[in-house]
Chain A
């Protein structure tokens, strides 16, 4: 279960960022909440990260904001986040987590109906959260497990970043000499 003060703090930031349509704050929250999720092994904080990133993606698309469905979605999303925040503050982290899960489903549904995304916005948000977690020390498997991201898509995403630059251990010659011995 999420550490409640952190969970409440992040939910509060999510609500504020969404109400203010603050893209920068929401994207920052996407990364911070993923980092918290890994540090406290709390999948509920992953939901906050995914929601923050996805909502930021919606807010930067004028055609989504201008759609007939946006107003209802905006109200529903705000209500869910507010209710989750109240639950978290009351120590009912499980209930708050279930509400966040329902928000992710709402986001996924809107993304399917309106989005012109090559990858679903929630799937992309999972990859972003997983990459942040991988960068903070988790293995690929752990990052995928915690976020629900596909290991395959995560590998490809990480492959085009410069994350591996920090992590060279042996040189090619040394590693290749092992391979030559194995495959002789």
Chain B
């Protein structure tokens, strides 16, 4: 079983663009299982369930959880590992002598659950966690432009974070939809299968999936 830890950013994109059915489809048509940490449960269900304008989104995602499509992972190890990850990530960069708190508990818990559950991939649409794991130098270059002359990198903390997240593989909501598309998810659109897939990618991007124009062009070559 390939565990995919889902951050709230990816689930929000999938749900808000009516692509959450991809998770049901992939659960039935692959060996993957979808996992969430308690913080993501709080963010996508518990908290918005009491806010009228987000209530329906929360109800939809609660149904996905109740249907057993994703599973909440709880373990006493999560809290300690989350603290260690946040301690490393949030001390990597200093501006004017103060550390920038880059990550939130929700994203850090996803990384902790990845390790605890021995997951195979992290599904996340937001850019900071992805950059810190895949290409921290790129994030640093971007931030050096924003904080000209004021930014100092704490190399030991950055290395600590790299050690804790080594081997984590990242996908986004776009890749979840693309994998489902390859397996025939959009066949229900009959002659519009390919158009539906590319329109879904556009919708995901507008819903917050961090994807560049170049990546959309790459996806444009991709026919289903």
Contacts and interface: CB of A to CB of B under 8 A. Distances in A.
Given A140-B9, A155-B13, A175 B172 contact: yes
Given A152-B57, A168-B215, A172-B218, A139 B129 contact: yes
A145 B8 CA distance: 13
A150 interface: yes
A72 interface: no
Contacts of B207: 155-156, 159
B127 interface: yes
Contacts of B9: 140-141, 151, 155
A158 B222 CA distance: 25
A145 B102 CA distance: 11
B48 A167 contact: no
Interface stretch (B66-74, B118-126, B192-200): B118-126
Interface residues of A, number: 45
Nearest to B209: A159
Interface stretch (A36-44, A45-53, A55-63, A75-83): A36-44
A183 B179 contact: yes
B56 to A, nearest CB: 11
Contact of A165 (B29, B101, B130, B213): B213
B32 A183 contact: yes
B121 A178 contact: yes
A142 B104 contact: yes
Nearest to A154: B208
A interface SS class: helix
Contacts of A154: 208
**Chain B, interface residues (CB within 8 Å), range:** 35 or more
A173 interface: yes
Interface string B195-217: 00000000001111111111100
B103 A155 contact: no
A139 to B, nearest CB: 4
A135 interface: yes
Q: Which of A160, A166, A175 has the most chain B CB atoms closer than 10 A to its own CB? A: A175
B135 interface: yes
B182 A180 contact: yes
B178 A141 contact: no
Nearest to B143: A137
B88 interface: no
Given A154-B208, A155-B9, A158-B208, 11 more contacts: A38-B101, A140-B126, A141-B126, A155-B126, A155-B207, A156-B206, A167-B210, A172-B219, A178-B171, A182-B30, A183-B32
Interface of A: 35, 38-41, 134-142, 144-145, 150-152, 154-156, 158-160, 163-173, 175-176, 178-184
Interface of B: 2, 4, 8-9, 12-13, 16, 26, 29-32, 43, 48, 51, 54, 57, 93, 95-96, 98, 100-107, 120-121, 125-131, 134-135, 138-139, 142-143, 146-147, 169-172, 175-176, 178-180, 182-183, 205-215, 218-219, 222
Complex A-B, nearest 10 residue pairs according to Cβ-Cβ distance, in ascending order: A155-B208, A141-B104, A140-B126, A139-B128, A179-B175, A172-B218, A183-B30, A159-B208, A164-B210, A169-B134
